[in-house]
Structure 1
Amino acid sequence: MKIKAIFSSRLSSEILSGNIQNMSLIRVLDYTVNEIPSKSEKFLIITKCEVVSPEHEEQIRDEVKQEDSEMGMLSKKPKLENEVNSENIKEAKGIFLKPKQEIVSKSAAQIIHEQHGNMAPSARMAMTRRVHPLVSLNPYQGNWTIKVRVTSKGNMRTYKNARGEGCVFNVELTDGDGTQIQATMFNEAAKKFYDRFELGKVYYISKGTLRVANKQFKTVQNDYEMTLNENSEVEEASDEAACIPETKFNFVPIDQLGPYVNSKDLVDVIGIVQSVSPTMSIRRKSNNETVPKRDIVVADETKKTVVVSLWNELATTVGQELQDIADKSPVVAIKSLKVGDFQGISLSTLGKSIVQVNPVISESKKLRNWYDSEGKETSMASVGSGLSPSTKSGGRSMYSDRVSLAHITSNPSLGEDKPAFFSIRAYISFIKPDQSMWYRACKTCNKKMTDALGGGYW
């Protein structure tokens, strides 16, 4: 059978170079089927393929003729290459075309069958499955399979609500085009897939569901988010790892961090490590838990420095590695950082943050060359030194000039799109008499204390 196909722009170099030409034999690895309703016609959009052989014109023509004329009947044996009449060999002025070497005539089906049989099982599976790009997915699709790399993996978290207790974790996935999506798993699915998903590995995923992403909590640039349940299928694609890009960074220069202060947007930063502090223990107010923390100071070509707080495992693993090589001023690239207002502007890692030391990327090489040539002798200044976030970003924040209550009441839409921060100086005009403004609390954990019978508290 025949079907029309379109090559994606990424394959244009293969066509211009002559690797793909008329009657070439190719193996299609990734594709999408599109249908034109008005013409009842389907065509392939080929996004990835490889050339099997460019010299099978006679054999393929013979096979197509066989399928178009009568299915199931034996086709005529195609001519051997050495039987081609010498009159077909043309001579141009100054150019002599040599006859083709003698080869054994094989049909396209025979070639595919032989090469298919020599493949590893995972490669044969990858060749036969249809992979959808992330950009083509929507909540109304039925069956789909994606091939993605895990570029971020969150920790297993527990929750408790009216329906009971449970656990949840999420991963960020990236496909061959660089498109990202967040996938979340709850309870049984979380327990099933937490150990299976490994950071940096490539997987085939199917039987998941999509829904519109909550803009308040989404962490990647995608209109949808994915949910995987215990019936979803996740299979490692070890032979296909080279097809998917590694961690993709969108670096923000240190001197341009101001607009991100106290916002929900996360940033990626790359810089030269200037100093590394020892690990310290911090007690959380929410659950009284003690967690490790380590601060590092990084600088970039803007001649600005910023403090980055590494939390939990990053403080004890990567943080220790940075401390051991701090005298060599390593380059560090960090993905998904929260921008806070401590010391004017500061950065903190999250559970999903990724830290790479001396990454092999162009930005790292450029930064290293700058630092070795002039940066180490340059005077650096803290990006938040003497500046409030509002001054740095040019916008209103909790450090802006005070506003009046009328400013709030006269702007009903204030805070609808995103939280609004401001300072107010006012007098207390009324205190509700039936409600206390404070309570007795434990000195160590700040939990409320209740009067006990016979005196004392508990």
Structure 2
Amino acid sequence: MADAALAQITQGSLDAIFNDPERLQKEFPVPVCQCVQIKALGSQGEGNPERYRIVLSDVKNFVQSMLATQANHVVHDGKLKKGSIVRLKQYQANSVKGKRILIILDLDVIENLGELDKIGEPHALAVKDEDEKPANTTIAGNGFYGNKPAQPAQERALPSRTGPSSSSSHANIYPIEGLSPYAHKWTIKARVTQKSDMKTWHKASGEGKLFSVNLLDESGEIRGTAFGDQADTLIETFQEGSVYYITSPCKVQLAKKQFSNLPNDYELVFERDTVVEKAMDQDNVPQVRYNFTSVNDLQSIEKDGTIDIIAVLKEVGNVDQIVSKTTQKPYDKRELVLVDDSGYSVRFTIWGKQAVSFDANPESIIAAKGVKVSDFGGRSLSLLSSGSMTIDPDIQEAHKLKGWYDSQGRTENFASHSNMASAGAAGGNKDPLKTVAQIREEQLGMSEEPAYFSVKATIVYIKQDSFSYPACSNEGCNKKVVEGGDGTWRCEKCEANHPKPNHRYIMSINVNDHTGQLWLSCFDDTGRGVMGISADQLMELKENDTAAMEKAFEEANCKTWIFKCRAKMDNFQDQARVRYQVMNASPINFAMEANKLAALIKQYSLE
């Protein structure tokens, strides 16, 4: 077996990769090496994929190498192990601090040769002085096995560009995966998959503006940000979907994970002399790269994790407005319900302009990238500002999902993760929408663990005597404040006095459906939706215009909502009772309800 492996290994190919490109093209179009060491480096940030460092040997030499995250599957599938013989299908040769490092973008494991002891006594690859290095030794896309012949990644620059003009060739195309703070004199060729709006900030130390783009090539993704004058210069240059050459000087720094959902340890900051040119060839760079998670697998994703998802749009909610607890600014949001062929549904929230302009029809296919997983009501999703969403994408996964929904999914019932918020297990009720009678008959909330359900019901009464409480005005603090003798309001948690409180809803409402009635407890977000005004505004009416206050309550009555609730045992005056707390309330979407009824009629008519 060792003799067979030795016959296949391309001895001398590692030296040719770094020091003799002409020999590499002629003698080693597809290098074959032995993996003599493999080590998991672990994640360097929440949501980042694991990184693997390997040592490759061609019997004569060995070189430190790094697996690109897109190639991690060979380790996860158990194919690549210490002693494996591999074909290098696509790779990038780099020099970092005088050391040779090979970035492996794609490789095949020759599995029939098995796992062997180290063959030969390879030596560390010699490092030549910079003056002795042949030109253009860094080759991207080299060694495509069974795809296209190896060739240097040399492409002619375009005359139109942002930055200093030049007619030189792009002879040093780096993969995004290979960028680091130690890489210099590089050019990447990447597609803009997402561009943010221009943002401004104001602080005591000054003010400024910025925008960011997500960049994608075959090896990976990276975020780039432009500040100040560079932002003004580049904001119109970068267009979503287009491909660009970006050439250093450009700062590569550790990624600020709170602002990006991309699985890259680094990010770019565009500098004054960074060169950005639109590429003539727009087709040989991927459009977008997804790593989809199915809806039923969301229970295994940690809170605040970031995923990609593809699903069928089942329901579309109306645009609501909430006020941020930290900034006190209003934000538009819209809740969607997504389902897939795993038999589960999930709430998906989109924000801002995207929420307002959203006009996709139910049964469309939604593909979203950069989606945050929340544990609110079990599991729910929210599109990050750095994320993106596509309606009916022309990809295989979308066509497969559409076929399933048209053939059988349209009439299926779907389980919700909200039914399993505490259990944390797959399964649960296949129909989370309950009638009042079912809630009582199934004794939801009577066990030690809380139960989650939805109920479609109409508001028939709202208690008016105590609909809110005075809360602290400090950002992030909603504790109750007490009025002092001097007219100020005291927050014991913040140890601060306020001239007036910030009233927040804490409402009790009675709702009915055709099977019975139920008392529900509502907090501030739900109260704002039900009443249509803030608790501060309603309190002002109570103090100054009783008739107007009563009219506001009257207008809120007799409206039907979908209430998503949590049922849990509570003690009140030494008596145990079930408390039904509203987690979220959505007004009825009459078009969706009509579609549901039409589907039921069709279903029963076929039976």
Could you state the TM-score of these two structures normalised by the residue count of structure 2?
0.46
Task: Tell me which of 363, 370, 381 is aligned to 2:404.
Answer: 370
Aligned pairs for 1:393-432 (under 5 A) are: none
Equivalent residue, structure 2, for 1:184: 225
Tell me, in whole angstroms, the C-alpha distance in 2 between the residues paired with 1:434 and 1:287: 19
Equivalent residue, structure 2, for 1:224: 266
Tell me, in whole angstroms, the C-alpha distance in 1 between the residues paired with 2:256 and 2:402: 39
Equivalent residue, structure 2, for 1:391: 424
Equivalent residue, structure 2, for 1:353: 387
Equivalent residue, structure 2, for 1:235: 277
Equivalent residue, structure 2, for 1:297: 337
Cα separation, partners in 2 of 1:126 and 1:359, compared to 1, 3 Å: farther
Unaligned runs of 5+ in 2: 1-19, 31-90, 101-124, 144-153, 427-447, 450-489, 504-533, 537-607
Tell me, in whole angstroms, the C-alpha distance in 1 between the residues paired with 2:421 and 2:404: 27
Counting strand residues as a fraction of each chain, which structure ranks higher? 2
Equivalent residue, structure 1, for 2:495: 436
Cα separation, partners in 2 of 1:7 and 1:122, compared to 1, 3 Å: farther
Tell me, in whole angstroms, the C-alpha distance in 2 between the residues paired with 1:374 and 1:335: 26
Paired amino acid for 1:441: K
Cα separation, partners in 2 of 1:333 and 1:5, compared to 1, 3 Å: farther
The CA RMSD over aligned residues, in Å, is: 4.1
Post-superposition CA distance 1:329-355 (Å, at most 9, x none):
111111111122333211111222211
Deviation at 1:166, TM superposition (A): 1.3
Asked whether the equivalents of residues 155 and 351 of structure 1 are also in contact (C-alpha less than 8 Å), the reply is: no
Q: Which moved more, 1:211-220 or 1:158-167?
A: 211-220
For these two proteins, the number of residue pairs brought into alignment is 320
Cα separation, partners in 2 of 1:141 and 1:282, compared to 1, 3 Å: same
Cα separation, partners in 2 of 1:142 and 1:436, compared to 1, 3 Å: closer
Equivalent residue, structure 1, for 2:234: 193
Paired amino acid for 1:330: S
Asked whether the equivalents of residues 6 and 45 of structure 1 are also in contact (C-alpha less than 8 Å), the reply is: no
Task: Tell me which of 200, 206, 225 is aligned to 1:158.
Answer: 200
Asked whether the equivalents of residues 205 and 232 of structure 1 are also in contact (C-alpha less than 8 Å), the reply is: yes
Post-superposition CA distance 1:136-161 (Å, at most 9, x none):
22212332111111112223222234
1:254 and 2:272 aligned: no
Deviation at 1:128, TM superposition (A): 4.7
1:272 and 2:306 aligned: no
Equivalent residue, structure 2, for 1:173: 215
Paired amino acid for 1:308: F
Post-superposition CA distance 1:16-70 (Å, at most 9, x none):
xxxxxxxxxxxxxx986777645656484644589xxxxxxxxxxxxxxxxxxxx
Could you state the TM-score of these two structures normalised by the residue count of structure 1?
0.60
Tell me, in whole angstroms, the C-alpha distance in 2 between the residues paired with 1:371 and 1:314: 25
Asked whether the equivalents of residues 306 and 347 of structure 1 are also in contact (C-alpha less than 8 Å), the reply is: yes
Q: Which moved more, 1:134-143 or 1:201-210?
A: 134-143
Asked whether the equivalents of residues 491 and 497 of structure 2 are also in contact (C-alpha less than 8 Å), the reply is: no
Paired amino acid for 1:309: T
Tell me, in whole angstroms, the C-alpha distance in 1 between the residues paired with 2:491 and 2:501: 25
Equivalent residue, structure 2, for 1:332: 366
Deviation at 1:433, TM superposition (A): 9.2
Tell me, in whole angstroms, the C-alpha distance in 2 between the residues paired with 1:121 and 1:226: 24
Tell me the secondary structure at the aligned position of residue 208 of structure 2. strand
**What's the % identity of the aligned pairs?**
28
Asked whether the equivalents of residues 31 and 130 of structure 1 are also in contact (C-alpha less than 8 Å), the reply is: no
Equivalent residue, structure 1, for 2:375: 341
Asked whether the equivalents of residues 31 and 44 of structure 1 are also in contact (C-alpha less than 8 Å), the reply is: no
Post-superposition CA distance 1:100-129 (Å, at most 9, x none):
xxxxxxxxxxxx9xxx9xx98579968554
Cα separation, partners in 2 of 1:375 and 1:163, compared to 1, 3 Å: same
Tell me the secondary structure at the aligned position of residue 225 of structure 2. strand
Tell me, in whole angstroms, the C-alpha distance in 1 between the residues paired with 2:177 and 2:494: 54
Cα separation, partners in 2 of 1:242 and 1:3, compared to 1, 3 Å: same
Asked whether the equivalents of residues 344 and 385 of structure 1 are also in contact (C-alpha less than 8 Å), the reply is: yes
Tell me, in whole angstroms, the C-alpha distance in 2 between the residues paired with 1:132 and 1:370: 41
Asked whether the equivalents of residues 320 and 333 of structure 2 are also in contact (C-alpha less than 8 Å), the reply is: yes
Post-superposition CA distance 1:326-382 (Å, at most 9, x none):
2xx111111111122333211111222211111111111111122222222322121
Equivalent residue, structure 1, for 2:109: none
Deviation at 1:222, TM superposition (A): 1.9
Asked whether the equivalents of residues 309 and 369 of structure 2 are also in contact (C-alpha less than 8 Å), the reply is: yes
Equivalent residue, structure 1, for 2:325: 285
Deviation at 1:169, TM superposition (A): 2.3
Tell me, in whole angstroms, the C-alpha distance in 2 between the residues paired with 1:272 and 1:432: 47
Unaligned runs of 5+ in 1: 13-29, 51-111, 394-399, 402-430, 448-458
1:4 and 2:45 aligned: no
Post-superposition CA distance 1:274-308 (Å, at most 9, x none):
11122223333334433322111110111000111
Tell me the secondary structure at the aligned position of residue 184 of structure 2. coil
Tell me, in whole angstroms, the C-alpha distance in 1 between the residues paired with 2:494 and 2:321: 37
Equivalent residue, structure 2, for 1:148: 190
Asked whether the equivalents of residues 139 and 172 of structure 2 are also in contact (C-alpha less than 8 Å), the reply is: no
Equivalent residue, structure 1, for 2:16: none
Tell me, in whole angstroms, the C-alpha distance in 1 between the residues paired with 2:386 and 2:277: 22
Asked whether the equivalents of residues 173 and 188 of structure 2 are also in contact (C-alpha less than 8 Å), the reply is: yes
Equivalent residue, structure 2, for 1:22: none
Tell me, in whole angstroms, the C-alpha distance in 1 between the residues paired with 2:376 and 2:494: 34
Asked whether the equivalents of residues 260 and 386 of structure 2 are also in contact (C-alpha less than 8 Å), the reply is: no
Tell me, in whole angstroms, the C-alpha distance in 2 between the residues paired with 1:314 and 1:272: 18
Asked whether the equivalents of residues 372 and 383 of structure 2 are also in contact (C-alpha less than 8 Å), the reply is: yes
Cα separation, partners in 2 of 1:343 and 1:5, compared to 1, 3 Å: farther
Asked whether the equivalents of residues 305 and 383 of structure 1 are also in contact (C-alpha less than 8 Å), the reply is: yes
Equivalent residue, structure 2, for 1:203: 244
